[in-house]
Amino acid sequence: MQPNFDQELEDRLVRYAAIDSQSDETSSSTPSTGIQFDMLNLLVAELQEIGAENVTLTDYGVVLATIPATAPGPAIGLLAHVDTAPQFNATGVKPRVIKNYDGGDITYPDNPDLVLSPQKSPYLASKQGDDLITASGLTLLGADDKAGVAIVMTLARHLLANPDIKHPKIRLAFTPDEEIGRGVGERLPKDLDVDFAYTLDGGDAGEIVYESFSADRAVVTVKGVSIHPGWAKEKMVNAAHLAAKIVQTLPQATMTPETTDGREGFIHITDMNGGSSEMEIKLILRDFELDGLATKGDLLRSVCDAVQASEPRAEITCEIFPQYRNMRYWLENDMTPVELALAACRAHGIEPISAPIRGGTDGSRLTEFGVPTPNIFTGMQNVHGPLEWISVQDMAKATEVCLTLVQKAVAHESR
Ligand SMILES: [Zn+2]
């Protein structure tokens, strides 16, 4: 008989979502906020209680644990992040369960102006009869990624309570600071010690994602010539004018986040700072292919060179730094982790969706470090804002898919 995970998933998400564990990109500590330890320490206690082995909280803020193998096969990692997004209020989250959703508009007790309408969301409309979880109107919910945490914990509890289920060794990892791109440090791959892994951090039921952006960031510095404006004639070089020229020369009607989608990349100015003597422009470059990414870097450099040539007394530098790479470059060499996830989905009658993700995940970094890590759906919707919601039944589907996946892995040789 298929186990029913609905109530446990609901209880766990409600419990975890009420804990404020927002990350902070302006902080330089690890984890970026001390409050993330409230989640990390709770998970340590809960993992010990359900009988997980080797439960540890590393000095870089990751909770690790083992579910021992009951059969041979490749060691599999399951990851979820404990932090919530810094983009919206995450303090005082009051999760609310809507049992047996009637298919109508959803209103919010703490914010009468807010409405979540199935007219605007076909996905919501398709969830009539499901149990939904939302916030109360003033905060995000934090299903991103407390839903992932709830799914991994529910699966772990089920496997540990049923040692007759055959599966290879499973390693669990709960990471901080995913939302600010600092979830996977250099020591995690070795400490995780698996053949491949999955992040539970995706959206619609069926999403199995193994393509992310390749990402660089750039810093352009413009140094002008500073002099008292009263005596500046033919001497001053104003850095602000030159920086404006660079921004004006970069593509605007194309190749920006607001003018692209699908498989198109972009150049995005994230920050501009300074004054007449010196300006700094920060940018991010994104593309699914490395040559496309390099072309965007070349374009930025040529714009800087052209503006430099127009004013030789200025000093313009352009530095480009790699951030993360499309996980497909590694996964296409061995699609086993992806194929297992797709097969597990289909076994539950869910047609997999594998659209490339216009961003990065903890899995992008892990894959680059040698641990192939596709991303599996949780059901989370409208993340990073007050209209965030999730269906308990979607979370249950994700739990069942993972349960099938680890059993299917038994047949596979460890690499
Ligand atoms: Zn997430």
pLDDT at 415: 46
User: How many whole angstroms from 205 Cα to the centroid of ligand 1?
Assistant: 15
User: How many whole angstroms from 146 Cα to the centroid of ligand 1?
Assistant: 9
β-pair type (375-377, 196-202): parallel
* DSSP H or E stretch at residue 362: helix 362-368
Active site residue 178: yes
* DSSP H or E stretch at residue 283: strand 278-287
Inter-residue long-range contacts of 272-278, CB under 8 Å, 24+ positions, other chains counted: 272/243, 272/247, 274/222, 274/239, 274/240, 274/243, 275/239, 275/240, 276/224, 276/226, 276/236, 276/238, 276/239, 276/240, 277/223, 277/224, 277/225, 277/226, 277/239, 278/221, 278/222, 278/223, 278/224, 278/239
Name the residue among 165, 212, 201 with its Cα closest to residue 408: 165
User: How many whole angstroms from 178 Cα to the centroid of ligand 1?
Assistant: 7
pLDDT at 132: 98
Token duo for residue 259 = 């003018």
Token duo for residue 59 = 């000095």
Residue 61 one-letter amino acid: G
pLDDT at 413: 62
User: How many whole angstroms from 81 Cα to the centroid of ligand 1?
Assistant: 7
Tell me the three state secondary structure of residue 256.
coil
User: Could you say which of 10, 20, 83, 368 is catalytic?
Assistant: 83
Percent of residues in the chain assigned helix, strand, coil, to nearest 5: 35, 25, 45
pLDDT at 411: 76
User: How many whole angstroms from 395 Cα to the centroid of ligand 1?
Assistant: 14
User: How many whole angstroms from 34 Cα to the centroid of ligand 1?
Assistant: 19
User: Could you say which of 8, 20, 178, 368 is catalytic?
Assistant: 178
Mean pLDDT (10-residue bins), the chain, 415 residues: 91 98 94 97 98 97 98 97 95 97 97 96 97 98 97 98 98 96 92 97 96 96 96 97 98 97 96 97 97 98 98 98 93 94 97 91 90 97 96 98 97 61
Q: Which residues on adjacent β-strands are paired with residue 171?
A: 66, 77
Name the residue among 108, 148, 142, 111 with its Cα closest to residue 9: 148
Q: Look up the pTM and report it.
A: 0.89
User: How many whole angstroms from 183 Cα to the centroid of ligand 1?
Assistant: 10
d(CA 187, CA 191): 6
pLDDT at 414: 47
User: How many whole angstroms from 383 Cα to the centroid of ligand 1?
Assistant: 8
User: How many whole angstroms from 135 Cα to the centroid of ligand 1?
Assistant: 17
User: How many whole angstroms from 343 Cα to the centroid of ligand 1?
Assistant: 24
User: How many whole angstroms from 177 Cα to the centroid of ligand 1?
Assistant: 10
pLDDT at 1: 62
Name the residue among 200, 199, 197 with its Cα closest to residue 372: 197
β-pair type (170-175, 76-81): parallel
User: How many whole angstroms from 72 Cα to the centroid of ligand 1?
Assistant: 31
d(CA 37, CA 200): 20
